Amino acid sequence: MTATPQTDIHAYLAELEDIPGTRVFTARRARAGYWINQFAMSLIKPENRDRFRADEDAYLAEWQLSDDARAAIRRRDYNALLELGGNIYFLSKIFSTDGLPFAEAVSTMTDMSWPEYRQMMMDGGRSPEGVRSIKGGY
């Protein structure tokens, strides 16, 4: 489906939800994840990273985060944070605060270990077979 001026934008964006494991960062997700992303971006400042590392709970208490978001941050459950509206580029500030390279952190979002994920990417990435459509079953 291609968006046109006559297309219902919500129906168009809903079609993107059919791609397994993919969360398109839509305006709806941006609104839902506003505080998650604001928190993550605060970690760009060294003093905030230091405060977060020293006492995560105290630092998180300063942000208007849902209980689900706080729990996902504590677990470093990036898939849950994406579902809650987190943006991967903002969440990367958490990876960096933890001292993880981007690719290693992303590997935690798969069913693979870091070495397995790294090898899969060096071999050309994941095959698109079986990951094209949820409702289509392929």
pLDDT for residue 1 is more than 70: no
* Residue 2: inside a domain: no
* Residue 9: inside a domain: no
pLDDT digits (tens, 9 = 90+) for 13-40: 777 777 766 777 777 888 999 999 999 9
pLDDT digits (tens, 9 = 90+) for 66-82: 999 999 999 999 999 99
pLDDT digits (tens, 9 = 90+) for 78-126: 999 999 999 999 999 999 999 999 999 989 888 889 999 899 899 988 7
* Residue 64: inside a domain: yes
* Residue 112: inside a domain: yes
Q: How many domains does the chain divide into? A: 1
DSSP the chain: ----TTS-HHHHHHHHTTSTT-----HHHHHHTHHHHHHHHHTTSHHHHHHHHH-HHHHHTTS---HHHHHHHHHT-HHHHHHTT--HHHHHHHHHHTT--HHHHHHTTTTS-HHHHHHHHHTT---STT-S-TTTT-
Q: What is the CATH number of the domain that holds 110?
A: 1.10.700.10
pLDDT higher at 57 or 10: 57
Look up the domain containing 107 and give its range: 27-122
* Residue 21: inside a domain: no
Q: Can you give the pLDDT at residue 25?
A: 78
* Residue 128: inside a domain: no
Q: Can you give the pLDDT at residue 132?
A: 65
Q: Is the pTM of this model over 0.75?
A: yes
